[in-house]
Amino acid sequence: MVKSSFLNYSYFSKSPIIAALDIGSSKICCLIAKIDKNETLSIIGAGFQESKGLVSGVITDMIALENSIRNCVASAEKMASVRIRKIIVGFSTENINIENLNIEIDLKGAVVGQGDLDRAYNFLSEKHNMGNRSILHVIPFQYSIDGNKGVKSPIGMFGDKLGVEISIISSDSNTLKNLENVVKHCDLEIDEIVYTPYATGVSLLSQEEKELGVALIDMGSTLTSV
């Protein structure tokens, strides 16, 4: 398990086209964007459709939801004049759980590299017993070197101990399996499932607001997240 990559454009460098699908209880939105060589996004297609078969993030009618998704994606494809196969799915459910975990790993005086951070993320994710839950995001929010907290980016620093604090966002596994199944029936492959309130915070809040701390309220037709 590694950190979420849904906002890292280089993750999608194999294709200049990115498609995103936001599945809510009242409406479904699909955006298709093109990335230029400067990693600038340009929206080339958009589709909107009334959502049927989903209540509070729980699928109640697979066929109805499939039809809603198909119609929404088709509208966006028609505007963009492209056919998409892979898509990022934004999703929210009442079965979400957020936990904060921490770990300290030995560096033995070596310089911190990305491999050390990945080792810490993987260890925490694998050690933590998720039961019947699946991890959506592993989000680091604080580092420390030899007990000195407040380190924003430890890469390139020397030390004996690296401390990592992360937040793990997880969802009920069966809920995600049902979501993956209905999207697959629409002849689409999921690149990544994103917890919508998290994506909203990343896109709307400034760096200063994230560091100072704010309350962001994401209000939907059946779910409200803070």
CA–CA separation, 89 vs 30, rounded Å? 9
- The model's pTM: 0.79
pLDDT tens-digit map of 41-60: 899 999 999 999 998 888 99
168: helix, strand or coil: strand
Given this model, what pLDDT does residue 60 score?
92
Given this model, what pLDDT does residue 65 score?
95
Q: Are 116 and 122 in contact (CB under 8 A)?
A: no
Sequence-separated (6 or more) residues with CB below 8 Å from residue 5: 11, 192
**All structural domains of the chain:** 9-93+173-219 (3.30.420.40), 97-171 (3.30.1490.110)
Provide the pLDDT confidence category of residue 11 given band limits of 50, 70 and 90. Answer: very low
pLDDT tens-digit map of 160-202: 999 988 888 888 889 899 999 999 999 999 999 999 888 888 8
Mean pLDDT of 134-160: 88
